[in-house]
Amino acid sequence: MLLTVEELEKDSKINAQTWRLWIRQGKVPCVRFGRRTVRVELTAYRAFLLENANEKAKQLAAMSAAIRDASESQEET
């Protein structure tokens, strides 16, 4: 199933311009029909969301660990 940028926006609540930017940057694989028409396969869309959710989770875990370490080092002094 191929999705339009507008469908990506509606489903993900992420602005269409952001999707277009990510497509232009090559972060989101797409299928092009002519110069202006692009579609994203449903499986590619889901994979992109999952991959970036995992990245966000890793970032949050790293931030949490850094805060915890800073807190522990302050308690030692």
pLDDT of residue 52: 84
User: Which CATH number fits the domain that encloses residue 60?
Assistant: 1.10.1660
Residue 5, burial from CB neighbour count under 10 angstroms (0-12, 13-18, 19+)? buried
What domain range is 9 assigned to? 2-76
pLDDT of residue 56: 75
Instruction: Say whether pLDDT at 12 is over 70.
Output: yes
Instruction: Say whether pLDDT at 77 is over 70.
Output: no
Summarised one tens digit per residue, pLDDT across range 19-70 is: 999 999 999 999 999 999 999 999 999 999 888 887 777 777 778 878 888 8
Counted domains in the chain: 1
Q: Which residues pair with 40 in a beta bridge?
A: 3
